[in-house]
A and B are shown apart, each in its own frame.
Chain A
Amino acid sequence: SYVLTQPPSVSEAPGKTARITCGGNNIGSKSVHWYQQKAGQAPVLVIYYDSDRPSGIPGRFSGSKSGNTATLTISRVEAGDEAAYYCQVWDSSSDRRGVFGGGTKLTVL
């Protein structure tokens, strides 16, 4: 079945740029969605279709994709960005269809 690989943790200082990667075989042919989950809360969509941003999500959040890797970039990191971030794709060949990466915990130093 299809697998998305994320680093377990990323740390960055306030004001810097954090990058969270999501690797998957042939991910270039799939649309990648990103969710932010703060402690004790439900996930929130922050990037969809690789690089689109829902209304209400700050412009500091952006998404990109190259080769077998999708990247969520958070510019000018703030304390309030500390959360777990998950990438997600739909995969018709997978028995699971809805596939999530393992999640990356962003720590703001």
Chain B
Amino acid sequence: QVQLVQSGAEVKKPGASVKVSCKASGYTFTSHDINWVRQATGQGLEWVGWMNPNSGDIGYAQKFQGRVTMTRNTFISTAYMELSSLRSEDTAVYYCARGTTMVTPLDDWGQGTLVTVSS
């Protein structure tokens, strides 16, 4: 079965960077986009961006342009999302989700990674 397993919780200081990983199994990693979605405590879902693991093509929500970088390692079927210049408002659970951007739903989700930004 499809599984997306994310890295553990992180605590960072304002201004620092965080890199979250998402390891895929149960399907061909390069055949589906990986999207990233975040959720602040008690708030709704917010789309961050997408990456095509085959081509490396990426797209980010304008809000995160210049601060977010999405990469992958196809040899270990793992996607990464790095967010820099962290501020307290970036405190949230970050999810990776499988789905072809602009086409299909997000049909499988990782368990989420809590990123806490605090001085």
Pick out which of these stretches binds chain A: B11-19, B24-32, B70-78, B99-107.
B99-107
Q: Is the CB of B46 within 8 A of A88?
A: no
Q: Is the CB of A100 within 8 A of B47?
A: yes
Tell me the interface secondary structure of chain A in the complex.
Answer: strand
**Chain B residues touching A, range:** 20 to 34
Tell me the interface secondary structure of chain B in the complex.
Answer: loop
Residues of A contacting B37 in the complex (Cβ-Cβ under 8 angstroms) = 43, 98, 100
Could you write out 28 A-B pairs with CB less than 8 Å apart? A33-B105, A35-B45, A35-B106, A42-B95, A42-B109, A42-B111, A42-B112, A43-B109, A45-B105, A45-B106, A45-B107, A48-B104, A48-B105, A48-B107, A84-B44, A90-B101, A90-B103, A96-B62, A96-B63, A97-B47, A97-B102, A98-B37, A98-B47, A98-B101, A99-B47, A100-B46, A103-B44, A103-B45
Supply 16 further A-B pairs (C-beta < 8 A) apart from A43-B37, A96-B47: A33-B106, A35-B106, A42-B95, A42-B109, A42-B112, A43-B45, A43-B95, A43-B106, A44-B109, A86-B44, A96-B63, A97-B47, A97-B50, A98-B37, A101-B44, A103-B44
Interfacial residues, chain A to chain B (CB-CB below 8 A): 33, 35, 37, 42-45, 48-49, 54, 84, 86, 88, 90, 92, 95-103
